[in-house]
Amino acid sequence: MVNYRILLIVLLNALFLGCACEKESDVNADNEKKLAVRVPLGDPFIMLYEDTYYAYGTFSDNGIAVFISNDLKNWRVPAELPSGLALHKNDVWGERWFWAPEVYEVDGIFYMYFSADEHICVATSDNPLGPFTQKDKTPMIIDEKCIDNSLFFDREGKPWLYFVRFNDGNNIWVAELEENLLEIKPETMKPCIHVSQEWEEVWPRVNEGAFVVSHKNLYYMSYSANSYESQFYGVGFATSESPTGPWIKYDSNPILQKPGDLVGVGHSAMFYDKAGNLRIVFHAHKDNQSIHPRNMYIGSVEFKSRENDVDVMVVGDDYLTPVLDLK
CATH 2.115.10.20 assigned to 41-70+78-320: yes
pTM, two decimal places: 0.91
Closest to 213 measured CA to CA, from 160, 266, 148: 160
Q: What's the mean pLDDT in 303-310?
A: 90
Q: What average pLDDT does the chain have?
A: 91
Residues with catalytic annotation?
43, 208
Confidence (pLDDT) at 326: 79
Cα→Cα distances 63→98, 210, 213, 235, Å = 6, 21, 27, 26
Q: What's the mean pLDDT in 130-149?
A: 97
Spans of all domains in the chain: 41-70+78-320
pLDDT digit string (tens) for 107-118? 999 999 999 999
Quick check: helix, strand or coil at residue 65?
strand
**Contact indicator for 261, 9 with CB cutoff of 8 Å:** no
pLDDT digit string (tens) for 183-230? 999 999 999 999 999 999 999 999 999 999 999 999 999 999 999 999
**Distance separating alpha carbons of residues 28 and 33, to the nearest angstrom:** 7
